[in-house]
Amino acid sequence: MMAAEVYHQAIGTLQYQSYPSNFNHQQKLQKSLVRLVLKDFINCNGLSRRGINHSGKRKCGVIRSSSSRTSVVDPVSSPSKSNAGDTNKKSNEASLILIRHGESLWNEKNLFTGCVDVPLSKKGIEEAIEAGKRISSIPIDVIFTSALIRAQMTAMLAMTQHRRRKVPIIMHNESEQARSWSQVFSEDTKKQSIPVIASWQLNERMYGELQGLNKQETADRYGKEKVHEWRRSYDIPPPNGESLEMCAQRAVAYFRDQIEPQLISGKNVMIAAHGNSLRSIIMYLDKLTSQEVISLELSTGIPMLYIFKEGKFVRRGSPVGPSEAGVYAYTRRLALYRQKLDEMFH
């Protein structure tokens, strides 16, 4: 499936970066890329030359892109003729969208932010809106965010672009009075709304005494190796802060207790959170090791799509946008294809 994702995403990239004055050169590049991924695509999906796997189901677990502005999400699988009688059964498939918040004002200044509540920068606002365009056709029934404003702003701004035009409403459950005062009494209005549940468990990793410090100055003060150890190790926290392991304990526990039941019930979920809390959740979803997760990078404002079906999470990649950067923002394996693609162009 990964190879299929890369194939379609990279073809979209070629269309975006193609040379309009040299059609033959563009066609040659596309054929080269096809040869690069076709073997891995067949192996990963168990396909025959006709595209049918041994289970009798056609695999469609890819995101197609025909231009820089389109995003068409195929179903995880579609029944073959032999299983046509099953098409009337209700699917328990649900979508899970993960979005790291857009750039914050402290990201812009290269400061350690952690759990300090800093809003989005102008660029971050634009990233959140662009993320919304990428997911505008994907159904969303409930939104989870951290308790921090940059994640909440990202969720709200993204939803302004959604085609269903439902209004996201933050649920205030911190007290009985808060719940009472924020009640909605119109059933029609409720149907046109999406609940937004904010939780501190989805907050960014707490960086302790590093919060508010310039990253370069911190490296000068403590040494590059020590700062790199704090940032990229799994179980070593900065002074009076959290390690990635500690962040994962709270974020994954919350996901399993509060978010996964929503998916099991068939609801489509979006999570707007932070680099480390989302890395923790992805570690759980993709069954990554502690060594694999520390090399995982997530770009600001780039949505990632998973499909939950039959108790399993299937990663579908990033819905395409006008920039190819987000296509390669997820794993080393995608970065490898990025390198090979770049070598074709240069």
Contact by Cβ (8 Å): 118, 149: yes
Position 130, amino acid: E
**What CA–CA distance (Å, rounded) separates 206 from 127?**
24
Q: Is 87 exposed, middle or buried (0-12, 13-18, 19+ CB in 10 A)?
A: exposed
Is 7 labeled as ligand-binding?
A: no
**What CA–CA distance (Å, rounded) separates 115 from 107?**
13
Token pair in block for residue 184: 């909605």
Is 230 labeled as ligand-binding?
A: no
Q: Is 214 exposed, middle or buried (0-12, 13-18, 19+ CB in 10 A)?
A: middle
Is 105 labeled as ligand-binding?
A: yes
Dihedral class, residue 114 (left if φ above 0, else alpha if ψ from -120 to 50, else beta): left
Q: Mapping DSSP to helix (H, G, I), strand (E, B) and coil, where does residue 214 land?
A: strand
Is 256 labeled as ligand-binding?
A: no
Is 100 labeled as ligand-binding?
A: yes
| Residue that the structure tokens 């596309």 belong to | 30
Is 205 labeled as ligand-binding?
A: yes
Catalytic residue among 130, 204, 260, 324: 204
Is 172 one of the catalytic residues?
no
Contact by Cβ (8 Å): 96, 305: yes
Is 317 labeled as ligand-binding?
A: no
Is 102 labeled as ligand-binding?
A: yes
Contact by Cβ (8 Å): 319, 135: yes
Is 311 labeled as ligand-binding?
A: no
Is 206 labeled as ligand-binding?
A: yes
Which residue intervals of the chain are DSSP H helices? 2-17, 23-45, 105-108, 122-134, 149-159, 176-181, 187-191, 215-222, 224-232, 244-254, 260-264, 275-286, 290-294, 332-345
Is 204 one of the catalytic residues?
yes
Is 171 labeled as ligand-binding?
A: no
Is 296 labeled as ligand-binding?
A: no
Is 297 labeled as ligand-binding?
A: no
Is 104 labeled as ligand-binding?
A: yes
Is 113 labeled as ligand-binding?
A: yes
Catalytic residue among 8, 101, 162, 274: 101
* Apex 201 CA angle, 269 and 272, nearest 5: 35
Neighbours of 319 (CB within 10 A): 26
Contact by Cβ (8 Å): 100, 273: yes
Half-sphere exposure of residue 304: CA atoms within 13 angstroms, side-chain side = 27
Is 101 labeled as ligand-binding?
A: yes
Is 324 labeled as ligand-binding?
A: no
Q: Which residues are annotated as a binding site?
A: 100-107, 113-114, 150, 204-207, 215, 231-232, 275-276
Q: Which residues are annotated as a binding site for substrate?
A: 100-107, 113-114, 150, 204-207, 215, 231-232, 275-276
Catalytic site positions: 101, 204
